[in-house]
Amino acid sequence: MNTLDIICSAIREKYQLSIKGKDDLDWRTTEPHIVYEAANGNILVDFYQTGGYSSSGRLPAWRRLLIDDILQINRIEQRFNVRTAEGYNPTSDRYVRVICKV
């Protein structure tokens, strides 16, 4: 499975992911909610980060990463609930084309 397949599978089944991006010093614990194409053509994932590496240190929080910037990814056998109360909006206008979403 490629990175996009792993993320979309986790989104469909609502499993957490451990992600390490190209600029990350360590792993992030994430709850992936949507993969989409932005207006500039980039493919990104928006996730709610609950633990792990954060350059700002402010967690939990919403984050996004370019799919191409994800170096390592592992599914965590822990499910999550959709973070609507925390601001998840699957109809945001920044999602030019939705690839997969909860």
Please give the average per-residue pLDDT across 83-93, as a whole number: 95
Percent of the chain's residues with pLDDT above 90: 97
Tell me the per-residue pLDDT of 19-46, one tens digit each, with 9 for 90 and over: 999 999 999 999 999 999 999 999 999 9
Q: What is the mean pLDDT of residues 57-74?
A: 97
pTM (2 d.p.): 0.95
Mean pLDDT of 44-65: 96
pLDDT of residue 1: 85
Calculated CA dihedral for residues 93, 53, 70, 66, nearest 10 degrees:
20
